[in-house]
């Protein structure tokens, strides 16, 4: 079909989706990584420069992957992103106060689940990479990030500025703040993740100026920080509305806290010995996976016997597959973690693709699971979390079904839950 003047193939059948992954050379995600550079406000000369170097290390898409993958898969010591995230999480979920934004929320305290998950996970993404200096200087960027993350896709289109002024304004605010950060002497940002300094050095040696280094950093933060808050929001929300599930998860997670509820949980126990928690996470990703994955054909190819032409787009509507009653049963639109508990093989099934696949398979999938499980397990173990005035008084939040998103759906505007958080004795 033709979408916005572009020939687009829609791959619906799961065997064909799988076949498309085997054509990673022909069906490329690089075009959309370059589009992300436009979202992020990278200047045209820098985009052209970064995208004109073939498949070499300076190619924009290759560099973007290298930046993230180096930290995710090879990070040792200070470069270990997962450890940095989990340490920050413990700082933010202090037994007496929640320190995810200023002023801290003292316990007992009342808060919004959406603000909490969004601000906490975003500040972890910022702090684990930039160190604490950045948000100390620019705490207002947390609010701006929330607004941009919801509407980032509109930044990729050449629409009249009055239609898209809000996300533009907030993106520019963050990029400007990042530029100020990059102008600081290295000594004042000594707690940034070491690989970021290496990337900065490489970009500067290619003549790339501070505003574009800031925009490229924002692009990276958007990929890293966009989805974990949504996973944390939906998973915690379902637990809050199901007392039986809450009790079962508390019992299951207890062994991960054998050093005490106020200590860091044992991540290997959460990952390998908490089947119900993992099933609830998997079900959350199934139910809230967003609409699409978009790739571009860089060569002609054949899928399922159909000839596909170079230059066209390939669209995979994962949401459609995740909500197919023939695959998931007639209750496919309902949250039911028994589904994965009784059928562990679903988690690796061809028709379950919350992290995409092929040329754009999410490199953050393991760390995403670690941080979301750590967050939820710590919250329910350390605190009593109750919906203000009971669950009957606040309907379960609705997702924004129209959000155009790579990854998970956000809650619709205004959809949230007010909760009371107090210490568990
Ligand atoms: C629950 C959390 C997450 C979800 C649901 C998620 C989902 C996805 C999906 C669906 C894609 C493929 C997009 C497409 O094919 O259209 C993707 C790609 C990607 N994700 Fe994630 N993601 C999550 C967390 C993260 C984190 C925490 C990071 C980094 C620390 C990350 C880094 C990336 C990168 C770099 C890509 C592009 C891969 C490439 O082109 O090589 N993601 N993600």
The 3-state secondary structure of 255-288, one letter per residue: HHHCCCCCCCCCHHHHHHCCHHHHHHHHHHHHHH
Looking at the DSSP bridge assignments, the partners of residue 98 are 93, 105
The count of residues in the chain is 425
| Nearest CA, atom 19, ligand 1 | 362
**Residues in contact with 56: Cβ distance below 8 Å, sequence separation at least 6, in sequence order:** 62
Lowest mean pLDDT among 51-55, 160-164, 191-195: 51-55
pLDDT for 61 equals: 63
For residue 51 the two structure tokens come to 């995208």
Average pLDDT over residues 70-91: 76
Which residue owns the Cα nearest ligand 1 atom 25?
Answer: 364
161/328 Cα distance (integer angstroms): 42
Candidate ranges 59-68, 105-114, 173-182, 186-195; pick with highest mean pLDDT: 173-182
Under 8 Å between Cβ of 174 and 254: no
What DSSP line would sit under 216-246, residue for residue? HHHHHHHHHHSSHHHHHHHHHHHHHT-HHHH
Atom of ligand 1 nearest to the CA of 358: 15
- Reply yes or no on whether the pLDDT at 379 is more than 80: yes
Tokens of 155: 């930044």
CA distance 354 to 286: 6
CA angle at residue 230 from 228 to 236, to 5 degrees? 100
Averaging pLDDT over each range in 77-86, 145-154, 370-379, 401-410, which range is the top one?
A: 370-379
Q: Does ligand 1 come within 6 angstroms of the Cβ of 223?
A: yes
Name the least confident of 197-201, 266-270, 373-377.
Answer: 197-201
Residue 159 pLDDT level (bands cut at 50, 70, 90): low
Q: C-alpha angle with apex 149: 332 to 311, nearest 5 degrees?
A: 80
The gap from C-alpha 129 to its chain's centroid, in whole angstroms, comes to: 15
In the numeric block, which tokens belong to residue 424? 């568990």
Does the beta carbon of 355 sit less than 6 angstroms from any atom of ligand 1?
yes
Predicted confidence (pLDDT) at residue 74 exceeds the cutoff of 80: no
> How do beta strands 2-3 and 6-10 pair?
antiparallel
What is the reported pLDDT for 76? 64
Across 298-340, the runs of DSSP E, i.e. the strands, are: 301-303, 306-308, 313-315
**3-state DSSP call for residue 97?**
strand
Give just the sign of the alpha carbon dihedral 252, 254, 257, 263: positive
| Residue 352: both structure tokens together | 């379950």
CA 69/CA 276 separation, integer angstroms: 29
What's the confidence (pLDDT) of residue 380?
97
Q: Provide φ and ψ at 86, rounded to 5°.
A: -70, -30
Mean pLDDT lowest for which of 16-25, 203-212, 278-287?
Answer: 16-25
Average pLDDT over residues 215-227: 88
| Cα 164–chain centre separation | 23
Mean pLDDT in residue range 294-308: 89
C-beta of 231 in contact with ligand 1 (< 6 A): yes
pLDDT confidence tier of residue 153, bands split at 50, 70 and 90: low
pLDDT tens column, 94-110: 877 787 777 788 889 99
Digit-coded pLDDT (tens) for 123-146:
999 999 999 999 999 999 999 998
How sure is the predictor about 390, in pLDDT bands with cuts at 50, 70 and 90? very high
Distance in angstroms (rounded) separating the CA atoms of residues 152 and 160? 15
| C-alpha closest to that of 228 among 85, 131, 331 | 85
List the residue whose alpha carbon is closest to atom 41 of ligand 1: 360
Ligand 1, residue 290: give the atom nearest the CA.
Answer: 10
Q: Taking each helix axis from N to C terminus, what angle separates 275-288 and 365-382, rounded to the nearest 10 degrees?
A: 120
User: What CA–CA distance (Å, rounded) separates 61 from 44?
Assistant: 15
Handedness of CA 139, 158, 211, 33 (dihedral sign): positive
Instruction: Report how far ligand 1's centroid is from the alpha carbon of 361 (Å).
Output: 7
Percent helix, percent strand, percent coil in the chain, to nearest 5: 55, 10, 35
Cα gap 235→239, rounded to integer Å: 6
Give CA 381 to chain center in angstroms: 24
Which has more pLDDT, 383 or 19? 383
Closest-CA residue, ligand 1 atom 1, reads 228
- The mean predicted confidence, pLDDT, of the chain is 87
Q: What is the pLDDT of residue 99?
A: 78
Question: Residues comprising the binding site for heme?
Answer: 362
Structure confidence at residue 73 (pLDDT): 64
The pLDDT of residue 350 is above 90: no
DSSP labels, 166-219: HHHHHHHHHHHHHHHHHTS-GGGGTTS-HHHHHHHHHHHHTT--HHHHHHHHHH
Residue nearest to atom 3 of ligand 1 (CA): 227
Q: Can you tell me the mean pLDDT for 148-164?
A: 70
Say which CATH superfamily domain 2-423 falls into.
Answer: Cytochrome P450 (1.10.630.10)
Atom of ligand 1 nearest to the CA of 61: 40
**What is the value of pTM for the model shown?**
0.92
């Amino acid at each position: 079909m033709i979408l916005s003047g572009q020939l687009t193939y829609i791959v619906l059948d799961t065997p064909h989706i799988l076949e498309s992954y085997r054509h990673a050379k022909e069906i490329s995600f690089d075009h959309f990584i370059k589009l992300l550079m436009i979202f992020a406000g990278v200047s045209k000369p820098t985009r052209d420069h970064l995208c004109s170097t073939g498949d070499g290390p300076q190619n924009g898409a290759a560099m973007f992957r290298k930046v993230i993958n180096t930290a995710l898969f090879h990070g040792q010591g200070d470069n270990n992103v997962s450890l940095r995230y989990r340490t920050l999480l413990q700082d933010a979920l202090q037994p007496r106060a929640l320190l995810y934004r200023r002023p801290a929320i003292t316990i007992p305290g009342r808060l919004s689940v959406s603000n909490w998950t969004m601000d906490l996970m975003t500040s972890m993404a910022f702090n684990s990479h930039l160190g604490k200096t950045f948000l100390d200087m620019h705490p207002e960027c947390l609010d701006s990030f929330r607004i941009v993350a919801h509407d980032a896709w509109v930044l990729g289109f050449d629409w009249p500025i009055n239609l898209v002024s809000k996300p533009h304004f907030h993106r520019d605010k963050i990029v400007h703040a990042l530029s100020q950060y990059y102008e600081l002497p290295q000594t004042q940002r000594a707690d940034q993740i070491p690989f970021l300094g290496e990337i900065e050095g490489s970009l500067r040696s290619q003549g790339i100026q501070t505003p574009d280094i800031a925009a490229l950093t924002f692009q990276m933060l958007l990929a890293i920080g966009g989805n974990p808050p949504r996973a944390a929001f939906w998973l915690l929300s379902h637990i809050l509305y199901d007392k039986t599930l809450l009790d079962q998860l508390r019992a299951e997670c207890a062994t991960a806290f054998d050093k005490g509820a106020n200590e860091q949980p044992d991540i290997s126990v959460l990952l390998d010995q908490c089947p119900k928690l993992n099933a609830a996470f998997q079900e959350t990703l199934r139910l809230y996976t967003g609409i699409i994955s978009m790739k571009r054909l860089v060569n002609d190819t054949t899928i399922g016997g159909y000839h596909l032409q170079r230059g066209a787009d390939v669209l995979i509507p994962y949401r459609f597959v995740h909500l197919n009653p023939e695959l998931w049963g007639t209750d496919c639109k309902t949250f039911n973690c028994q589904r994965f508990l009784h059928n562990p093989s679903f988690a690796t099934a061809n028709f379950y693709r919350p992290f995409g696949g092929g040329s754009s398979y999410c490199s953050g999938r393991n760390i995403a699971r670690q941080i979301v499980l750590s967050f939820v397990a710590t919250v329910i173990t350390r605190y009593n979390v109750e919906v203000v005035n009971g669950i009957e008084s606040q309907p379960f939040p609705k997702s924004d079904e129209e959000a155009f998103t790579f990854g998970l759906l956000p809650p619709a505007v205004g959809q949230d839950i007010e909760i009371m958080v107090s210490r568990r004795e």
